[in-house]
Amino acid sequence: MLTMLRDRVARTPTGQLACPCSGGWHGAKLAPTRSATHTGRVAFALLAGCMLSLAGCAGPDAPSDAASAVRAGDTASAEETLPVPGSGRIERWSAFPSTHVPARHVDIWLPEGYPAAAPYAVVYMHDGQMLFDARHTWNHQEWQADEVAARLMASAEVRPFIIVGIHNGGPRRHSEYFPQRPFESLPDAERNALLAARRSPDQPLFAAPVASDAYLRFLVEELKPEVDRRFAVASGRDSTFVLGSSMGGLISMYAALEYPDVFGAAACLSTHWPGTFQTENNPMPSAFRSYVENALPDPGRLRFYFDHGTATLDALYPPLQDAVDRVFLDRGYDSSNFLSLEFPGAEHSEQAWAARLDRPLRFLLGRDGEGASATATRNHY
């Protein structure tokens, strides 16, 4: 399905989407370009869509493995520069340790008036360094998660909630967000080929073995119990949600399907169904779809929100999302537990996700349930 886009993106001779970042993790620019081989036509070189910008690469403040010695729940030191939210306040757990994955920062956003409206629901969001303050992100964009959440709560459109922003693992991000069971379902040769893939000539796509199962154990066994202990939250699955974009969309979907007793719903924005940059002979879209078919419970247990744009990297997603949507609809999911939206013209960026973040938050936390007011087919906005 992805070969239909061959004239819309720049390519390397091997058939991979070109990743023109020359500056490592921080060399991308958000702009379309013209390819000399596509005269008179804008050929997206995916400057906004190379793997470093799949929902936010690691910033310079990403903690190292050595930070695992820091005690769980330590708050930020005076030397750290914390995000400054437009509403509410942020508490940082610096270099939160784990026995499953390298330590990383966790930023917890608390709305104005907390804890007066307790118990609060909890939304776990991936790529936590990209959520609250554009002054501290690699591309100077942010999700505006605090502003959007505060506005929805102020208008009583959603129940009170807090946000747990989990910083990604930097170079390990792709390995930690790549759903492991679909990967392991592939033949050895295909797995080895994926692990050997490059994001650029001098950078591997996977900086470590696929470790999404370990990442989810970190969330479920280590981080969530600490959040439940330290904050005035409801700990049940009907009050615990997971949300992310791009690779973060994949891991959000995977979290809900692997831990349906922990997460009651998942919101997956611009889900990166290709899994890699390889668009030809790529086994992952089919593997992801087969995994969903096998792991998806009967309707009534979980709720799922999906969306995507149609520009830059999101231009790859419509046919892939359509195929996944069909799995849900064939299984009997309806507007009460499933919503898939398309936003024509929206690109693959934090600015685009910020502009529509109210939609998944209403779906997850709406007092009346947004899913109930929309059809369970593709909606255009």
| 13 vs 362: which has the higher pLDDT | 362
Task: Judge whether residue 42 has pLDDT over 50.
Answer: no
User: The whole model's pTM is what?
Assistant: 0.82
Q: What is the mean pLDDT of residues 196-207?
A: 91
Task: Judge whether residue 96 has pLDDT over 50.
Answer: yes
Domain boundaries, the chain: 65-380
User: Cα torsion at 44, 45, 50, 55 (round to 10°)?
Assistant: -30
pLDDT bin (cut points 50, 70, 90) of residue 79 is low
Task: Judge whether residue 252 has pLDDT over 70.
Answer: yes
Task: Judge whether residue 118 has pLDDT over 60.
Answer: yes
Task: Judge whether residue 64 has pLDDT over 80.
Answer: no
DSSP string, 255-324: HHHH-TTT-SEEEEES--TT-SSB-SS--HHHHHHHHHHHHPPPTTS-EEEEEEESSGGGGGSHHHHHHH
Fold exhibited by the domain 65-380: Rossmann fold (3.40.50)
pLDDT bin (cut points 50, 70, 90) of residue 58 is very low
What is the C-alpha separation between 28 and 144, in angstroms, rounded? 21
CB 144 within 8 A of CB 85: no
What is the C-alpha separation between 229 and 261, in angstroms, rounded? 18
What Cα–Cα distance (Å) separates residue 82 from each residue in 103, 124, 136?
Answer: 17, 19, 8
Say what the pLDDT of residue 277 is. Answer: 84
What is the residue type of 1?
Answer: M
| 3-state secondary structure (DSSP) of residue 68 | helix
pLDDT bin (cut points 50, 70, 90) of residue 251 is very high
What is the C-alpha separation between 98 and 170, in angstroms, rounded? 16
pLDDT bin (cut points 50, 70, 90) of residue 256 is very high
| Residue 242 exposed, middle or buried by CB count within 10 Å (0-12, 13-18, 19+) | buried
Can you say how many angstroms the Cα of residue 311 is from the centroid of all Cα atoms in its chain?
Answer: 18
Question: Residue 354: enclosing H or E segment and its boundaries?
Answer: helix 350-356
Say what the pLDDT of residue 81 is. Answer: 84
Half-sphere exposure of 122 (CA within 13 A, CB side): 28
CB 2 within 8 A of CB 274: yes
Say what the pLDDT of residue 373 is. Answer: 35
Q: What is the mean pLDDT of residues 331-339?
A: 97
User: Within 10 A of 58 (CB to CB), how many other CB atoms are there?
Assistant: 21
